[in-house]
């Protein structure tokens, strides 16, 4: 048994070092391979070339990704906020509460491509929107809704119960208590969750694959237009066998840099003790 304990000890050291090595090397290697590719022209130009993306830049893809994610947030933020407020502060019936949270939990487990399928049938065809930012954005919204709802609910539940009780006892209604106490206290965390949800939507490809993402489009000027997206652009470059592999690394590096910057901001905003992992 002592030998096994030793093996487990060293195994745990090795796996920790291994994981950190994987994370660091993914970022550093991708950025390293894209050196010389990323410049202002790469970021602010449209893609060109025999295989799209071999020349030019990726500006429409960056803007398209932002359009998709904003649309997703637009449709997911208010419902997620309302659902979490309602189930935390108003809903008293435990059975209903459990049912609602079960549905949200299970929807969170549904593969994202299913939302793509749904949006394809309903928004692209049945309602006739066609492939556009709106159809793709709604698919993404369905995907990020449970994530946002759970994050909001968690941050609301962490507000000091005594404050709430004091506020109710002073005769202040739930709406005002929420606006004056809960919301300001959770504000940073809400922003941080929104940023994480934005990144989540930005990194997803499956839901927009046939609902709004296309191989080439200009920067969309309305939600009814199709758009490019960063990960989709990268996928198509590889699938079409682009000979300029460094440019593919460039696209990957841009999405990793965006991820890194935004995650850092989100992390700084919600930095606080997570009691669950404190020993």
Partner 1 sequence: MNSITEKIFKYFTKALTYITLSMLLFVICYIIKEALPIFIEVNPKDFILGKEWMPIDFGFGTKFGILYFILGTLLVSFIAVVISMFISIGVSLFLTVNANNRVRRNVFPVIDLLSGIPSVVYGFIALELLSPLFFRFGVKTGNCVLLAAIVLSIMITPFMISSVTYTFVNLKNKYMVAIKSLGVDEWYGVTTIIIPKAMKKIILSLILANCRAMGETMAVMMVMGNAIVFPTILGKGESIASLIALEMGTAVRGSNHYYALYAAGLVLMVIVLIINIVLHAFSKEKE
Size of the site for partner 1 (CB under 8 A): 89
Token pair 């969170």: residue: 108
- Regarding 274 and contact with partner 1 (CB under 8 A), the answer is yes
- Biggest alpha carbon–alpha carbon distance for the chain: 70
Site for partner 1 in 64-83 (CB under 8 A): 78-80, 82-83
Question: What does each C-alpha distance from 151 to 48, 64, 162, 233 come to in angstroms?
Answer: 41, 26, 22, 30
Nearest-approach distance from CB 135 to partner 1, in angstroms? 13
- The Cβ of residue 253 has, within 10 Å, a number of other Cβ atoms equal to 21
Stretch that binds partner 1, among 46-54, 181-189, 215-223, 226-234 (CB under 8 A): 226-234
Q: Choose between 202 and 222: whose C-beta lies nearer to partner 1.
A: 202
Choices 8-16, 35-43, 56-64, 216-224; region in contact with partner 1 by CB under 8 A:
8-16
- x/- track of binding to partner 1 for residues 24-63 (CB under 8 A): --xx-xx---------------------------------
CB 129, CB 123: distance < 8 Å: yes
Query: Which is it for the CA torsion 104, 109, 114, 119, positive or negative?
Result: positive
Contacting residue, 68, 234, 247, 250, with partner 1 by CB under 8 A: 234
Among 38, 66, 190, 202, interactor with partner 1 by CB under 8 A: 202
Strand, helix or coil at 190?
helix
Among 51, 74, 122, 219, binds partner 1 (CB under 8 A): 122
Q: Which residues contact 269 (CB under 8 A, 6 or more apart)?
A: 188, 189, 191, 192, 195
Task: With H, G, I as helix, E, B as strand and everything else as coil, classify residue 270.
Answer: coil
Helices (H) and strands (E) in the chain, counts: 11, 2
Within 132-151, the residues that bind partner 1 by CB under 8 A are 142, 145
- 278 is written with which tokens? 């404190």
Report if residue 200 touches partner 1, rule: CB under 8 A.
Answer: yes
Rule CB under 8 A: is residue 183 a binding residue for partner 1? no
Residue 107 sits in the site that holds partner 1 (CB under 8 A):
yes
For residue 243 the two structure tokens come to 């000979």
Report 247-266 residues binding partner 1 (CB under 8 A): 248, 252, 255-256, 259-260, 263
Closer to partner 1 by Cβ: residue 157 or 221: 157
The continuous run of DSSP H or E covering 219 comes out as none
Bridge pairing between strands 55-56 and 47-48 = antiparallel
Under the criterion CB under 8 A, does residue 21 sit at the interface with partner 1?
no
**Closest separation in Å from C-beta 123 to partner 1:** 11
Residue 100 binding partner 1, by CB under 8 A: yes
Q: Which is nearer to partner 1, 46 or 263 (CB)?
A: 263
Residue 180 in the binding site for partner 1 (CB under 8 A): no
| 245-269 and 2-33 helices, crossing angle to 10° | 120
């Amino acid at each position: 048994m002592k030998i096994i304990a030793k093996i487990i000890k060293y195994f745990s050291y090795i796996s920790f070092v291994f994981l950190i090595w994987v994370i660091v090397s993914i970022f550093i290697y991708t950025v390293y391979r894209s050196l010389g590719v990323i410049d202002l022209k790469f970021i602010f130009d449209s893609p060109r070339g025999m295989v799209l993306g071999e020349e030019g830049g990726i500006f429409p893809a960056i803007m398209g990704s932002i359009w998709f994610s904003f649309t997703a947030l637009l449709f997911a933020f208010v419902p997620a906020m309302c659902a979490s407020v309602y189930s935390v502060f108003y809903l008293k019936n435990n059975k209903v509460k459990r049912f609602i949270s079960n549905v949200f939990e299970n929807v969170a487990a549904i593969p994202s491509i299913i939302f793509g399928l749904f949006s394809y049938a309903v928004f692209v065809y049945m309602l006739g929107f066609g492939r556009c930012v709106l159809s793709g954005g709604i698919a993404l919204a369905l995907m990020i809704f449970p994530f946002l709802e759970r994050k909001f609910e968690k941050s609301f539940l962490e507000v000091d119960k005594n404050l709430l009780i004091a506020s109710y006892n002073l005769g202040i209604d739930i709406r005002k208590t929420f606006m004056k106490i809960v919301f300001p206290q959770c504000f940073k965390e809400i922003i941080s969750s929104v940023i994480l949800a934005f990144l989540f939507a930005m990194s997803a490809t499956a839901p927009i694959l046939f609902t709004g993402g296309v191989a080439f489009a200009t920067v969309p000027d309305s939600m009814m237009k199709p758009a490019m997206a960063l990960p989709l652009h990268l996928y198509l470059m590889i699938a079409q066998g682009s000979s300029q592999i460094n440019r593919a690394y460039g696209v990957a590096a841009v999405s990793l840099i965006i991820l890194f910057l935004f995650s850092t901001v989100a992390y700084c905003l919600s930095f606080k003790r997570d009691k669950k992992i404190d020993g």
